[in-house]
Structure 1
Amino acid sequence: MSELDQVGPRLRAVRKARGWTLDDLAKRARVSPSTLSRLESGKRQATLELLLPLTRQLGIRVDDLLPDEARDPRVRRPEIREHGHIVAPLTLEDSPVQTFKVTYPGGAALPELRTHDGFEWLYVLAGKLRLRLGDQDLVLTRGEAAEFDTRVPHSLSADGAKPAQIISIFNTEGARIHTHLTDAVLDPTEQ
C-alpha cells in the first residue's frame, strides 16, 4: 500500500475518532458526502484542494494523514570511553527518555556529590555500585535497582577493585548531564 493509498483510511479514522458522520464532515468542509466517501475508500485521488478544507475542519495537518517515514530502529551511537569509564547509548538520540549502559572502573574514588535537574533510574548488571545519595551511602549489587531525584546530592562509582556495570535511564535533562565526562572521572552529575 502506497503512502497516498493510506490517506483515505487515515482520514476516515480521524473523522470517526471525532464521532462525525460522513455528512457531518462533508457539510463542515463544503464537499459532497459522495466525494468524501470515495476519498476515504480510495476510489478518489487525494488532492491538496480537497484535503485542505477537510484537515482544517478536523484540526489536523495534511502531513498527519501520511504514514511516518520508516526509519531504522537500531541504535548505532558510539560508546564514550574515557578514564576507564564506558558509556554506551542504548536509545536513539531523539528518544524522550535516554538509556545508557555505564561501566565504572574498579578502584576509582567516589566523585564529590553533585546536583542537577532530572530524574534517574538505574539497574546493576554486574559488580557493586556505590551510590551516595544525600546522607545515605549505599552499595547496590547485581540485580538491584534504585531511582532518585537528581536534585538530591549524589555520586556514583564502582565499590571495590572490580568494575560495576549498570543500566541508567534518565529524563532528557538528566541524560544531557550524564553523558559528559570530566577530567578525572565520569561525573554523572555535572557537565
Structure 2
Amino acid sequence: MARASTRKSVDPAYLQALGQRLRALRKERGWSQDDLAEHADVHRTHPGKLENAEIGNPQIGTLMALATAFGLTLPELLTFPFQTQPEREESPRP
C-alpha cells in the first residue's frame, strides 16, 4: 500500500523569487542554462525548471550544487527579499 506524501510544497512566491535570483546570478556570469547545469553537475533541465518555479520541492543537493557553482554558500543563495503577499495600505476608518 502506498504511503500518502506528507511533504509540503514550498511557498510559490518564494519559488518565483528563487527562480529570479538564479536567473540573475546565471546572467551575471554570462552563462546559459546548459552552462549552469554543467558547472553545477545537475541535469540540464533543472536550471530552467527552477528559474520558472516548476519544481515545487527543490532537492537540497541540487540547491547546494547550484550554490557551489555560483561560489556561494547555501544560505547565501537562499537569502533574498521576497513577499508572500502584496502589501496593502490600510485605508483610514471613518
TM-score bracket relative to the smaller structure: 0.5 to 0.7
* Partner residue, 1:62: 74
* Partner residue, 2:48: 37
Q: Quick check: which one's strand share is greater?
A: 1
RMSD: 2.1
Mapping of residues 116-127 of structure 1, within 5 Å: none
Gaps of 5+ in 2: 1-11, 84-94
Larger radius of gyration: 1
Corresponding letter in the other structure for 1:49: G
Contact 2:13 2:82 in 1 (8 A): no
Contact 1:8 1:41 in 2 (8 A): yes
* Partner residue, 1:52: 64
Share of identical aligned residues, percent?
Answer: 33
After superposition, give the CA deviation of every residue in 1:129-153 in whole Å (9 maximum; x if it has no partner).
xxxxxxxxxxxxxxxxxxxxxxxxx
Q: TM-score, normalised by structure 1?
A: 0.33
Corresponding letter in the other structure for 1:2: A
Q: TM-score, normalised by structure 2?
A: 0.62
What is the rounded CA distance, in whole Å, between the counterparts of 2:82 and 2:20 in structure 1? 17
Q: Quick check: which one's helix share is greater?
A: 2
- Report the 3-state secondary structure (helix = DSSP H, G, I; strand = E; otherwise coil) of the residue aligned with 1:60: coil
Mapping of residues 1-191 of structure 1, within 5 Å: 2-45=13-56, 46-64=58-76, 65-68=78-81
Instruction: Return the offset for 1:14.
Output: 0.3
Gaps of 5+ in 1: 71-191
Instruction: Return the offset for 1:33.
Output: 1.8
Alignment coverage as a number of residue pairs = 70
